[in-house]
Amino acid sequence: MYRYDLLRPVRDPDACRHNPPRLGPDTLGIEITEPELAAACGLGNLDPQHGPGGDGRAAVKAALDHPLPPPGARLVTLRPDPDAFGAMAVLTLRAKGVVLGDEIRRRVERIARADRFDRGPWPGRRPLPTDVAELERLLFPDPEVAALAACCADGSLTPAARVAALERWLLGEAPEAVWCERVRARAERLWQALQEGRIALDEAAGGRIALLRSAEPGALVLGYLLAPVVVAEARAPDAPGHDPRKVTVAQWDAEHADLRAVAAELAGREPGWGGSATIVGSPQGRGTELPISEIAAVVARHLRS
């Protein structure tokens, strides 16, 4: 039906060899956030969160009504996550003639909600978790989608195998046990990092913004214990300050800050910033050189009353 591939960021030393055979007139991009790669996707780029003029929907949700690529098309992404691979799975199911009924659409919404970090109103300031079980509940409010994320991030699987796993889940199957176990192990690693002081938490804007520095996946949830808006630097607290790093600006829901304005202002200083109403990120593949204090100052200017 379709072919599936992961592209390499343009800064990857192997990108010049890896990407060109996977681009061209029969390629549809899914969340291709690097403009030169998006331009080489002849069938366009399905990216309503990061692309110009996008409506902020998750890719998996936009795939419900996006024009179907022709048979044999190649679907590519830079993001090995349930949103991108889920979008490929939705397009594939539609191409196979599967009726996307209410249950499938509810599962699509679960992926979209996790991608948006949509968890209802911010519950207020709370203490740090006291054990790993409490942390796991905070970290993975939807354990099945978390297991899908573990599957999508597994580089030992082909992109086609990951898309197939999303298809099976959309059709009602539970995630495989191996992915559920990886979710539990991830919670244990984050708990260990917290106990060992490898996660740094601070505040800005009078406690309305949490500043987080951690190399551990999922640490963002700890920032939300302090404030509804988090500026998260994906780097260990003791890492060299000059290293390029990934920074994410996220809010619990869209009520606390105008993150579209944040993304626009940051993109004016450093092209490549983009995202949705609830989460924006630094340029894909190359990180950011902007200091976290400068990013937090931009966010503070766009806090809502």
**Parallel, antiparallel or unpaired: strands 74-77 and 3-6:** parallel
- Residue 293: give its domain's CATH number: 3.10.310
Same domain, 52 and 112: yes
Structure token digits, residue 267: 């993109």
- Minimal CA–CA distance to 251: which of 218, 274, 284, 227? 227
In a domain, 185, yes or no: no
- Are 101 and 17 members of one domain? yes
pLDDT at position 55 is 73
Please report the pLDDT score of residue 49 as a whole number. 81
Same domain, 27 and 87: yes
- What pLDDT score does 278 carry? 87
pLDDT in tens, the chain (305 residues): 899 999 999 888 999 999 999 999 999 999 998 999 999 999 999 998 876 666 778 999 999 999 999 999 999 999 999 999 999 999 999 999 999 999 999 999 999 988 876 677 899 999 999 999 999 999 898 999 999 999 999 999 999 999 999 999 999 999 999 999 999 999 999 999 999 999 999 999 999 999 999 988 889 999 999 999 999 998 755 555 555 689 999 999 889 999 999 999 999 999 999 988 889 999 977 789 999 999 999 999 999 98
113 and 30 in one domain? yes
Separation of alpha carbons 80 and 7, rounded Å? 10
Please give the Cα distance from 26 to 79 (Å, whole number).
Answer: 19
φ, ψ for residue 124 (rounded to 5)?
100, 175
Which of these, 55, 60, 112, lies nearest to 91 by C-alpha position?
60
Residue 52 is predicted with a pLDDT of: 64
Which residue, among 177, 207, 163, has the nearest Cα to 30 in the 3D structure?
163
Answer whether residue 176 is part of any domain. Answer: no
**111 and 55 within one domain:** yes
CB 131 within 8 A of CB 188: no
Number of folded domains in the chain?
2
Task: Tell me, yes or no, whether 190 lies in a domain.
Answer: no
Q: Is residue 61 part of a domain?
A: yes
Domain that holds residue 57: 3-117+145-170
Is 0.75 topped by the overall pTM? Answer: no
| Cα dihedral: 234, 274, 122, 102 (round 10) | -110
Same domain, 69 and 216: no
Tell me what pLDDT residue 287 has.
Answer: 80
Q: What DSSP assignment string belongs to 148-201?
A: HHHHHT-TTS-HHHHHHHHHHHHTTPPPPHHHHHHHHHHHHHHHHHHHTT--EE
Q: What is the pLDDT of residue 240?
A: 55
The two structure tokens encoding residue 43? 């069938």
Same-domain check for residues 164 and 294? no
Q: Return the pLDDT at 175.
A: 95
Pair (104, 249) in one structural domain: no
